[in-house]
Amino acid sequence: MTGGPGGVMAKAKRWDQKKIEGLKNKRDKSLKELQEVGKDLRAIVKEQQLTNQIAGLDGRLKNFNIDLNLTQDKLTKCTDEKEEIERQIQVPYLSLSLIKYLILK
Protein backbone atom coordinates (compact mmCIF):
# COMPACT_ATOMS: atom_id res chain seq x y z
CA MET A 1 0.00 0.00 0.00
CA THR A 2 1.42 3.24 -1.09
CA GLY A 3 -1.13 5.41 0.52
CA GLY A 4 -2.51 6.58 -2.78
CA PRO A 5 -3.00 10.13 -3.89
CA GLY A 6 -4.76 11.07 -0.67
CA GLY A 7 -1.61 10.36 1.36
CA VAL A 8 0.56 12.57 -0.84
CA MET A 9 -2.03 15.33 -0.73
CA ALA A 10 -2.25 15.12 3.05
CA LYS A 11 1.56 15.34 3.35
CA ALA A 12 1.64 18.27 0.93
CA LYS A 13 -1.08 20.01 2.88
CA ARG A 14 0.82 19.50 6.16
CA TRP A 15 3.98 20.81 4.51
CA ASP A 16 2.08 23.87 3.25
CA GLN A 17 0.61 24.43 6.73
CA LYS A 18 4.07 24.26 8.31
CA LYS A 19 5.40 26.70 5.73
CA ILE A 20 2.42 29.03 6.27
CA GLU A 21 2.87 28.89 10.05
CA GLY A 22 6.60 29.63 9.65
CA LEU A 23 5.82 32.60 7.42
CA LYS A 24 3.19 33.86 9.89
CA ASN A 25 5.69 33.60 12.75
CA LYS A 26 8.29 35.43 10.68
CA ARG A 27 5.73 38.13 9.85
CA ASP A 28 4.78 38.52 13.52
CA LYS A 29 8.42 38.76 14.52
CA SER A 30 9.07 41.34 11.82
CA LEU A 31 6.05 43.38 12.92
CA LYS A 32 7.30 43.38 16.53
CA GLU A 33 10.75 44.49 15.37
CA LEU A 34 9.13 47.23 13.30
CA GLN A 35 7.18 48.41 16.34
CA GLU A 36 10.39 48.53 18.38
CA VAL A 37 12.12 50.52 15.65
CA GLY A 38 9.13 52.89 15.62
CA LYS A 39 9.42 53.35 19.39
CA ASP A 40 13.15 54.01 19.05
CA LEU A 41 12.55 56.54 16.28
CA ARG A 42 9.89 58.32 18.31
CA ALA A 43 12.27 58.44 21.26
CA ILE A 44 15.00 59.90 19.05
CA VAL A 45 12.63 62.52 17.65
CA LYS A 46 11.46 63.41 21.16
CA GLU A 47 15.07 63.69 22.33
CA GLN A 48 15.89 65.99 19.41
CA GLN A 49 12.85 68.15 20.18
CA LEU A 50 13.89 68.42 23.82
CA THR A 51 17.47 69.21 22.83
CA ASN A 52 16.24 71.99 20.54
CA GLN A 53 13.94 73.28 23.24
CA ILE A 54 16.80 73.32 25.76
CA ALA A 55 19.02 75.17 23.27
CA GLY A 56 16.29 77.77 22.74
CA LEU A 57 15.76 78.22 26.46
CA ASP A 58 19.52 78.47 26.98
CA GLY A 59 19.67 81.27 24.41
CA ARG A 60 16.80 83.09 26.12
CA LEU A 61 18.52 82.69 29.49
CA LYS A 62 21.73 84.21 28.10
CA ASN A 63 19.74 87.16 26.72
CA PHE A 64 17.99 87.65 30.05
CA ASN A 65 21.33 87.59 31.85
CA ILE A 66 22.72 90.20 29.45
CA ASP A 67 19.63 92.34 30.02
CA LEU A 68 19.95 91.89 33.79
CA ASN A 69 23.61 92.97 33.73
CA LEU A 70 22.80 96.03 31.62
CA THR A 71 19.93 96.96 33.94
CA GLN A 72 22.14 96.54 37.01
CA ASP A 73 24.80 98.77 35.42
CA LYS A 74 22.16 101.40 34.65
CA LEU A 75 20.86 101.18 38.21
CA THR A 76 24.37 101.65 39.60
CA LYS A 77 24.94 104.69 37.37
CA CYS A 78 21.58 106.18 38.32
CA THR A 79 22.28 105.61 42.02
CA ASP A 80 25.69 107.27 41.68
CA GLU A 81 24.14 110.18 39.78
CA LYS A 82 21.41 110.56 42.44
CA GLU A 83 24.02 110.64 45.22
CA GLU A 84 26.04 113.25 43.35
CA ILE A 85 22.95 115.42 42.83
CA GLU A 86 22.09 115.09 46.52
CA ARG A 87 25.64 116.19 47.42
CA GLN A 88 25.35 119.16 45.07
CA ILE A 89 22.01 120.12 46.62
CA GLN A 90 23.56 120.02 50.09
CA VAL A 91 26.30 122.52 49.14
CA PRO A 92 23.96 125.55 48.81
CA TYR A 93 22.13 124.59 52.02
CA LEU A 94 25.42 124.35 53.87
CA SER A 95 26.53 127.67 52.43
CA LEU A 96 23.19 129.25 53.34
CA SER A 97 23.44 127.85 56.85
CA LEU A 98 26.96 129.23 57.15
CA ILE A 99 25.87 132.65 55.91
CA LYS A 100 22.93 132.73 58.35
CA TYR A 101 25.24 131.73 61.17
CA LEU A 102 27.73 134.41 60.31
CA ILE A 103 25.02 137.08 60.01
CA LEU A 104 23.39 136.14 63.25
CA LYS A 105 26.65 136.03 65.11
User: How many degrees, rounded to 5, is the angle at CA 69 between CA 58 and CA 63?
Assistant: 25
Of 9 and 88, more confident: 88
**Eight-class DSSP state of 77:** H
Which residues, at least 6 apart from 79, have a Cβ–Cβ distance to it below 8 Å? none
**Eight-class DSSP state of 54:** H
Q: What is the mean pLDDT of the chain?
A: 88
Q: How confident is the model at residue 1 (pLDDT cuts 50, 70, 90)?
A: very low
pLDDT digits (tens, 9 = 90+) for 16-37: 888 999 999 999 999 999 999 9
Given a cut of 90, whether residue 68 has pLDDT beyond it is: yes
CA separation for the pair 2, 36 (Å, rounded): 50
- 3-class DSSP state of 14: helix
